[in-house]
Structure 1
Amino acid sequence: MTDKQLIHWAGNLKLLRTRKKLSQQQLADTLGINRNKVSAQESGKTRNPRIDDLVLISAFFRINLDTFLRTDLTILPEDQLLDMENSQSADLTGRHIRILPITVNQDNEENMEYVPVKARAGYRSGFADPSFVASLPRFSLPELPRGKTIRMFPVSGDSMEPIPDGSHVIAQYQEDWLQIKDGTACILVLKDSEEDIVFKMVHNRIRQNGSLLLHSLNSAYNDYEVHVQDILEIWTFIGYISKQLPQQ
């Protein structure tokens, strides 16, 4: 692994060890490794720890390895750290939440699925079910990216005007949530919210506090934050279809 990939390993290791009130020797004895190895990794002197050590230590603290390496845990709020330490840690990237079910055509190319209004209510419970995804209607449009996972979602309400109520948003599956740039329009599928599917402008606060700030184009609506633990899927905006002309 490169130094860039290990940017937060040393600080996170020291933080998690001290939170468990373990000395370096106690941690080493528990893991069956040499204390000098723990000391060298916490100080950053070990530039390329063995992958076996990385897996062993991250498993002991019950923190996803990718999160352990790439996320500065020292800046996370206390409640989120407690969740992680109780094996309820959020995957801040969104990569490991699930395997995305897809369907392919006879040429082994991914189909583009449409989530109609009738299926929208069941999408939150069926999004990970291959049979549910296979039952969705398929569509095809020119000029869309090839080799990508693309779906079309119905959106309702006026929070994203001038995009009209009842529009259908075409979006591409976002695999790594940390890579979302501020001001990106996204479809978000939420876990426990009155709105199961929302369409908003996203400002990325994952590295700071594990959340996304959601902004509406309509200034009558206030911004609000959603924690990554409450998100099932994120799709980035490509375009939309509407039978109405946008308001002037």
Structure 2
Amino acid sequence: MSLISDNIKYLRKRIGLTQEQFSERIGIKRSLLGAYEESRADPRISNLIKMAEIFGTSVDILINKDVSKLSDEELIVSKFKRGKEVLAITVNEDQKENIELVPQKAAAGYLNGYADPEYIRELPKFNLPMLSGSGTYRAFEITGDSMLPILPGTIIIGQYVDDIRDIKNGKTYILVTQNDGIVYKRVFNYLEDTGKLFLVSDNRQYAPYQIAGEEVLEVWSSKAYISVQFPDANESNDVSTEQLASIVLDLQKEIIKLKEEKKK
């Protein structure tokens, strides 16, 4: 048997699931799981990601390590880590990473295909020499008016964030989420306190809301934007100090409330 086949079988038994139970959690047929465990088929990356999440480890460990020889500390990875081993990319003829564009019409498909190299390969792609060569970038066409004066149809270029605990309070990010899809928001990081992120719109007509860190599939820190519409001269692209202070105060009240509820 191959290393990955042995690892899947070993970890499935370790968490006490039958083939039937485990295949249901992944969303595949039991016969296909059997083929994986007997080295008769290789798991797709999307299935490897689901398995790694259930096992509490990374795809990199699942593929490259003999898990039976690892300690719990070596096997278990942080629930906030988003390892680059599952980040599908493309490169140009000079072997430099492209910036793949996720247009509005492809947003729904991206939730299923974000880790599939074949899907990523089909996305439009381009390069911007002014961006740092050390990062991995992706572009997303945004919808709605919740982040005015950034207009609907604007393309936000984000740099990949490997660990969502690195999110800086008050900065803008593209988040790829399980339940809300792809969203562009100003983010406040309370992962260490409550396991939550607070998402705030620059258009104050939209109420802030929170999501659990586990719901976040990818995070991209906004670095640039492309738009065919110029912002109005009277509009500022930044949230004012007063607005940020108000937002932070509201969030602090919410955090205190959540902590009190936890104690009950």
For Structure 1 versus Structure 2, the TM-score category normalised by the shorter chain is: 0.5 to 0.7
* CA distance 1:57–1:106, shift in 2 (3 Å): closer
What does 1:31-50 correspond to in 2, within 5 Å? none
Q: Assess if the C-alpha contact under 8 Å between 1:110 and 1:147 holds in 2.
A: no
Structure 1 residue 137 displacement after superposition = 1.0
Residue number among 174, 179, 183 corresponding to 2:161 in the alignment: 174
Residue number among 200, 214, 219 corresponding to 1:229 in the alignment: 214
Amino acid aligned to 1:186: Y
What is the rounded CA distance, in whole Å, between the counterparts of 2:187 and 2:86 in structure 1?
Answer: 23
1:114 equivalenced with 2:129 (yes/no): no
Residue number among 198, 207, 213 corresponding to 1:213 in the alignment: 198
What is the rounded CA distance, in whole Å, between the counterparts of 1:150 and 1:99 in structure 2?
Answer: 15
Give the gaps of 5 or more residues in structure 1. Answer: 1-54, 68-90
Structure 1 residue 142 displacement after superposition = 3.3
Render the CA deviation track for 1:55-100: whole Å, top value 9, x for unaligned: 63548xxxx6454xxxxxxxxxxxxxxxxxxxxxxx123338x610
Render the CA deviation track for 1:177-200: whole Å, top value 9, x for unaligned: 11111111000011123xx11000
Amino acid aligned to 1:56: S
Q: Assess if the C-alpha contact under 8 Å between 2:104 and 2:143 holds in 1.
A: no
* CA distance 1:227–1:243, shift in 2 (3 Å): same
Amino acid aligned to 1:93: K
Q: Assess if the C-alpha contact under 8 Å between 1:92 and 1:178 holds in 2.
A: yes
Q: Assess if the C-alpha contact under 8 Å between 2:143 and 2:153 holds in 1.
A: yes
What does 1:128-207 correspond to in 2, within 5 Å? 128-193=115-180, 196-207=181-192
Which of the two has greater helix per residue? 2
Amino acid aligned to 2:182: I
User: In angstroms, what is the RMSD of aligned CA positions?
Assistant: 2.2
List, as ranges, runs of 4+ consecutive aligned residues in structure 1 with deviation greater than 4 Å: none
Give the equivalent residue in structure 2 for 1:92. Answer: 80
Give the equivalent residue in structure 2 for 1:46. Answer: none
Matched position secondary structure for 2:86: coil
Structure 1 residue 206 displacement after superposition = 0.9
Matched position secondary structure for 1:222: coil
1:56 equivalenced with 2:44 (yes/no): no
Normalising by structure 2, report the TM-score.
Answer: 0.58
Q: Assess if the C-alpha contact under 8 Å between 1:109 and 1:147 holds in 2.
A: no
Structure 1 residue 202 displacement after superposition = 0.7
Give the equivalent residue in structure 2 for 1:18. Answer: none
The percent of aligned pairs where both chains have the same amino acid is: 40
Which protein has greater RCO, CA pairs closer than 8 Å, 6+ apart?
1
* CA distance 1:128–1:162, shift in 2 (3 Å): same
Give the equivalent residue in structure 2 for 1:11. Answer: none
Give the equivalent residue in structure 2 for 1:25. Answer: none
Amino acid aligned to 2:198: L
The size of the alignment, in residue pairs, is 166
Matched position secondary structure for 1:134: helix
What is the rounded CA distance, in whole Å, between the counterparts of 2:196 and 2:89 in structure 1?
Answer: 27
* CA distance 1:66–1:132, shift in 2 (3 Å): closer
Matched position secondary structure for 2:71: helix
